[in-house]
Amino acid sequence: MIFLTRKAEFSSAHFYWNDQWSQEENERVFGKCANRNGHGHNYTLEVTVAGEVDGTSGFVVDLKELKDILEREVVSVYDHRHLNLEVPEFETTVPTTENIAIAVWRRLEGKIPAAKLHRVRVYEMADLFADYYGEL
Ligand SMILES: [Zn+2]
């Protein structure tokens, strides 16, 4: 078994808000991130797949194909978008780094031929990232 990681980047806006809570509660829990006008991040996505090296190609997965899948399933949907307002999975789910990692996993699950999705890592900034390994 070998692990291969491909990176991608996207820039998105978001805010943190829970409709079940009052404005005061949202501001208490989320601080400045509760500003409903939103703010932006340059996210870095790392997708790790696991599999066996193909004896003829030397690949676990076709790198061009993996890049195209990340572009199609994630980057084209999230890049230069307001996550809360334009991406369906964040209409009711707070777009935290943790929830973005889970959402990316759900978008990619079952879409990568030959290899198994192993880990989704999302960096919101250089010193903050979330890892998701699916339901363990
Ligand atoms: Zn933020």
80 is catalytic: yes
User: Does the reported pTM lie above 0.85?
Assistant: yes
Instruction: Based on the residue annotation, tell me whether 124 is a catalytic residue of this protein.
Output: yes
CA of 117 to the centre of ligand 1 (A): 26
Distance 68 CA to ligand 1 centre (A): 27
Whole-number Å distance, alpha carbon 112 to ligand 1 midpoint, is 29
pLDDT tens figures, 48-84: 999 999 999 999 999 999 999 999 999 999 999 999 9
On whether the CB atoms of residues 94 and 64 are closer than 8 A, the answer is no
**What is the Å distance from ligand 1's center to 130 Cα?**
13
**In the predicted structure, residue 114 carries a pLDDT above the cut 90:** no
Cα–Cα distances (Å) from 15 to 36, 39, 64, 68, in that order, read 6, 7, 33, 28
- Tell me the sheet residues that pair with 3: 50
Please indicate whether residue 98 is annotated as part of the active site. Answer: no
